[in-house]
Amino acid sequence: MRTEQEMFSLILEVAKKDERIRGVGLTGSRTNLNAAKDPFQDFDIVYVVTEMQSFIEDKHWIDVFGERMIMQTPENMELFPPTLNGNFSYLMLFTDGNRIDLTLCPLEKKDNWNSGDTLAVILLDKDNILPSLLPANDKEYWVQKPSAAAFSDCCNEFWWVSTYVAKGLWRQEILYAYDHLHIVRKQFLTMLEWKIGFETNFSLSIGKNSKLLEHYLDEETWGILINTYPLCTYNQIWDALFKLMNEFEKVAVDVAKIIDVPYSIEESKKIKRYCRHVQTLPKDGKEIY
């Protein structure tokens, strides 16, 4: 596997030799002093270029970066519409395990080449035209303090979608139920992140997909959370749903007290009773009540 230094040298060498490339920027975890270093970290690179079309038309110019295992070009994909607003990206995984996510950014967008990301540094600026940046930091990714409205919305979504899980299980539509269980769990994760935010003065990031959450939860809470990721059976999904209900309410009550907003115990009791009732309904039932 090529070293980090070898990769950066190659990325910069390509840019220096190509007159179309006027600047090189780095974003992502490699700019973040708080991020753990490991061999799976991407090289999130931006090339600021004078024009785009010649790069896009030449399908082989990227071969210089090494032998690829697989590549994705999102802006060329129909199933997943592009989201980079005029940029063009090459997501490349190489046979030595390294990965470069390379984005072409047109020169006219140079003032916002990093799309406002605070995890960004300039590696090369041939013409001294790229805007100055503050030292890279991950503050914009820190858990944010919830407003009363956000707290209310999270609670409402949790209890509302819980009824979809129950409906799907009664109908024997297990994939429908499982997908909605994930939505319910996402609200629980949000509530957990808020609680951790208050405990740490909202000074850290939990990471994408709550990947660092384990480090901030006690062993018991973490164990309960993990046990809500069941195998895809009806009984296990029912069990996971009720575990989430109980744990969500505990955490939500704590957060509500901290931000001094009401939490509707009565509403949650009604939904718990409803879901328990649906669980016992005969499969040939014609009425809910």
- Reported as a single tens digit per residue, the pLDDT across 71-105 is 999 998 888 776 668 899 999 999 999 999 999 99
Task: Count the domains in the chain.
Answer: 2
User: Same domain for 119 and 166?
Assistant: no
CB contact at 8 A, 99 and 92 = yes
Residue 207: the pLDDT is 87
Task: Examine the domain organization and report whether 113 and 148 are in the same domain.
Answer: no
Q: Is residue 285 part of a domain?
A: no
Q: Is the pLDDT of residue 208 over 90?
A: no
Is the pLDDT score of 200 beyond 70?
yes
Q: Is there a single domain that holds both residue 86 and residue 188? A: no
3-state SS, the chain, equals CCCHHHHHHHHHHHHHHCCCEEEEEEECHHHCCCCCCCCCCCEEEEEEECCCHHHHHCCCHHHHHCCEEEEECHHHCCCCCCCCCCCEEEEEEECCCCEEEEEEEEHHHHHHCCCCCCCEEEEEECCCCCCCCCCCCCHHHCCCCCCHHHHHHHHHHHHHHHHHHHHHHHCCCHHHHHHHHHHHHHHHHHHHHHHHHHHCCCCCCCCHHHCCHHHHCCHHHHHHHHCCCCCCCHHHHHHHHHHHHHHHHHHHHHHHHHHCCCCCHHHHHHHHHHHHHHHHCCCCCCCCC
The pLDDT tens digits of the residues spanning 5-18 come to 999 999 999 999 99
Provide the CATH number for the domain around residue 155: 1.20.120.330
Residue 285 C-beta-side C-alpha neighbours within 13 Å? 13
Domain stop point among 80, 106, 138: 138
Does residue 152 lie within any of the structural domains?
A: yes
Q: Identify the weakest region by mean pLDDT among 82-86, 183-187, 236-240, 261-265.
A: 82-86
pLDDT in tens, 116-134: 888 999 999 999 999 999 8
What is the domain-level CATH number for residue 76?
Answer: 3.30.460.10
Q: The domain containing residue 225 runs over which residues?
A: 142-280
Per-residue confidence (pLDDT) for residue 85, from 0 to 100: 80
With a cut of 80, say whether residue 248 has pLDDT above it. Answer: yes
Q: Would you state the torsion angle of the CA atoms of residues 11, 16, 19, 23, taken in this order, to the nearest 10 degrees?
A: 70
Same domain, 127 and 220: no
Number of other CB atoms surrounding residue 180 within 10 Å: 22
Same domain, 59 and 182: no
pLDDT: which is higher, 84 or 240: 240
Q: Please indicate, yes or no, if residue 253 is contained in any of the structural domains.
A: yes
Residue that terminates a domain, selected from 89, 117, 138: 138
pLDDT score of 152 more than 80: yes
Same domain, 271 and 176: yes
pLDDT of the residue at 84: 61
What is the percent of the chain where pLDDT is above 90? 82
Confidence at residue 83, expressed as pLDDT on a 0 to 100 scale: 67
